[in-house]
Amino acid sequence: MVNANLGMEYELTRRLAAIEQRLRDLSTQPVLLHASTGQDGGQGLTTDLNGLHLFNPAGVEDVTLSTADGSANFNGNVNINGNLSVPNGSITNAALQSPLSPVAFHADANNFALSNGANVPIVTQTITVPAGYTKAVVNATASLSAANSTAATDTLYCGILVNGSGPGYSGRVGVQPGVAANPSRAAGVLLTSLGSSFTIQATASTNVANWPADVNNNANLDGTVIFLR
């Protein structure tokens, strides 16, 4: 009501002052503290002292962004089109789907001949690379048993090839005529460039003479491969 003594001008000034004060008060208030999209039944988006809440059409809270501890909880899938940066060690293997894929293998051969000179493959194992894996840790052991049926004292060598490459030196044993020997070789290799498959091979050779095939000559190739993403 207009004050009859002070007139309309005073009343307008008073109201403008009250409006200015209200705006000043609102400027310091959390205007979205209890905001929502106005949907019924707990649907849509709401905010409160605990954070932001997203509800699905059934009224179930699917997303929570907490102001208490900064956590974010999602009940559905989360698609990230860019890079995701997280502190080292913050994602454990238990939280990943199949971070490792192990394979154990065995292969063998017998009744083979041996040639003097460079090592040649005696046993070959082909390993298939599972989809989605980019590296492999290979641990393999080759063991050989062969008899020197020649008249010369000789040396028997046993090696390993992983994906065509031989790590380190061959195992070797000096062998008298008519005697059998059992050299072996173990290797550990990290492969970082994988195709659809690779080979692991046991290799062998002699130093002096060629040894003919013998039913008692045998070779074993055993090991494990651990694939990593």
Structure confidence by residue, pLDDT tens digits, 98-130: 789 999 999 999 999 999 999 999 999 999 999
DSSP one-letter code for 114: B
Asked if 121 and 203 count as a contact pair (C-beta separation under 8 A), the reply is yes
If one compares 112 and 17, the residue with the highest pLDDT of the two is: 112
pLDDT at 4: 56
Looking at residues 6-30, what average pLDDT do you find?
A: 71
Q: What percent of the chain has pLDDT over 70?
A: 86
Highest mean pLDDT range out of 47-51, 79-83, 205-209?
A: 205-209
CA-based nearest residue to 109, from 187, 212, 185, 201 = 201
Distance of alpha carbon 73 from alpha carbon 53, whole angstroms: 10
pTM given for the model = 0.65
Looking at residues 2-24, what average pLDDT do you find?
A: 70
- Through-space distance between the first and last CA atoms of the chain, rounded to whole angstroms: 78
Residues 74, 79, 84, 90, CA torsion sign: positive
Distance of alpha carbon 127 from alpha carbon 218, whole angstroms: 22
Structure confidence by residue, pLDDT tens digits, 166-217: 988 999 999 999 999 999 999 999 999 999 999 999 999 999 999 999 999 9
Q: How confident is the model at residue 11 (pLDDT cuts 50, 70, 90)?
A: confident
Residue 20 reports pLDDT greater than 60: yes
Please provide the DSSP assignment of 74-108 as one string. ESS-----S-----TTSS-GGGSS-SEEEEEEEEE
Q: How confident is the model at residue 37 (pLDDT cuts 50, 70, 90)?
A: low
Domains and CATH numbers, the chain: 31-74 (no CATH), 100-228 (2.60.120.760)
CA-based nearest residue to 218, from 113, 144, 166, 115 = 144
pLDDT at 12: 76
